[in-house]
């Protein structure tokens, strides 16, 4: 009885690609999503396209103008009227029929036309704008040339630090603006007294703190620790502390508490020794930041 009932159930859903059948729509749709079905379907489509291309390639093409015909008789009738000269190798007239299915040929023609257009544009450009190209090339900034040629006579960073001349007014200014601003003002003032090509330090990128320093007669990119710049800051700061002696010579009573200059002298001592706070590295970082902003290279003048 069960056998007769199963024979009456029709297999409604059939996949001819995979030779699969099912009376359950859910199972059939689930099958369509399997890897096996998708693989077989892709292979089937590929075979179909290959067959169509093979059939298309069997069409008859004129050797002179590349027109394509469905049969030999059509090509024969066309050749009787094709007037393109076989001896003219320089002139190529290509008339592509809409039914041409050889995509490789079409892409080749497009590529050749594009290359020809590019060549013509280059000839025109080189012939009429040669001076413009030369001037544009000359305006390109070359850091290596700027440092090693334009700034070849620049001072070494150690020589600059040793050459800094301080006045009592520099020390007194520090008492008003603080250690960081005071030392920054001294170094920046002395750098600006030099010609740009003689300065021992140049900044190429303010945002990334890229700085080049000349030391031992060669230009080098400053390391992440800014060791050379820190040494310069310390040298100038040490020179500044020596100016306290000049202040005492000018105001001999400054050491006495009742003196008018006593409070000023005490403040100068604090600032000359680094100011308030214990983090000397942070103070040096702030000084270096202020200096580099004043020695940024003007890349338009090179």
pLDDT of residue 105: 66
Q: Find, among 113, 66, 64, the residue nearest to 87 by Cα.
A: 64
pLDDT of residue 233: 97
Give the CA radius of gyration of the chain: 43
Edge-first strand order for the sheet with 218-221 is 201-205, 210-215, 218-221
Task: Report how far residue 177's alpha carbon sits from residue 171's, in angstroms, rounded to the nearest whole number.
Answer: 10
Q: What is the mean pLDDT of each run of 10 residues along the chain (302 residues)?
A: 48 80 82 79 66 55 73 74 53 46 65 68 60 48 92 96 95 94 96 96 94 96 96 96 93 86 91 86 95 92 59
The pLDDT assigned to 299 comes to 83
User: What pLDDT, on the 0 to 100 scale, is given for residue 18?
Assistant: 86
Q: Check if the beta carbon of residue 162 is closer than 8 Å to that of residue 187.
A: no
Q: Give the closest residue to 36 by CA, choosing from 14, 20, 12, 13.
A: 20
pLDDT of residue 85: 42
pLDDT tens for each residue of 176-215: 999 999 999 999 999 999 999 999 999 999 999 999 999 9
Q: Are 71 and 60 in contact (CB under 8 A)?
A: yes
Rounded to two decimals, the pTM is 0.54
């Amino acid at each position: 009885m069960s056998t007769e009932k199963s024979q009456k159930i029709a297999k409604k859903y059939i996949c001819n690609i995979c030779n699969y059948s099912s009376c359950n729509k859910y199972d059939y749709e689930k099958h369509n999503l399997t890897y096996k079905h998708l693989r077989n379907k892709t292979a089937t489509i590929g075979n179909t396209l290959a067959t169509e291309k093979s059939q298309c390639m069997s069409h008859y093409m004129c050797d002179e103008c590349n027109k394509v015909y469905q049969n030999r008789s059509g090509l024969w009738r066309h050749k009787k009227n094709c007037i393109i000269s076989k001896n003219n190798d320089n002139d190529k007239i290509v008339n592509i029929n809409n039914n041409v299915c050889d995509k490789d040929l079409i892409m080749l023609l497009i590529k050749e036309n594009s290359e020809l257009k590019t060549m013509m544009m280059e000839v025109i450009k080189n012939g009429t704008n040669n001076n413009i190209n030369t001037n544009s090339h000359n305006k390109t900034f070359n850091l290596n040339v700027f440092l090693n040629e334009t700034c070849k006579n620049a001072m070494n960073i150690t020589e600059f630090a040793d050459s800094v001349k301080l006045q009592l007014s520099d020390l007194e200014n520090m008492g008003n603006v603080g250690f960081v601003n005071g030392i920054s003002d001294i170094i920046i003032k002395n750098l600006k007294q030099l010609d740009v090509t003689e300065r021992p330090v140049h900044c190429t990128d303010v945002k990334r703190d890229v700085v080049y320093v000349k030391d031992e007669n060669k230009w080098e990119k400053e390391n992440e620790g800014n060791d050379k710049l820190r040494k310069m800051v310390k040298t100038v700061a040490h020179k500044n502390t020596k100016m306290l002696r000049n202040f005492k010579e000018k105001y001999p009573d400054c050491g006495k508490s009742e003196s008018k200059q006593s409070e000023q002298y005490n403040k100068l001592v604090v600032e000359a020794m680094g100011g308030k706070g214990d983090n000397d590295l942070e103070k040096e970082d702030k000084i270096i930041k202020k200096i580099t902003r004043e020695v940024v290279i003007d890349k338009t003048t090179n």
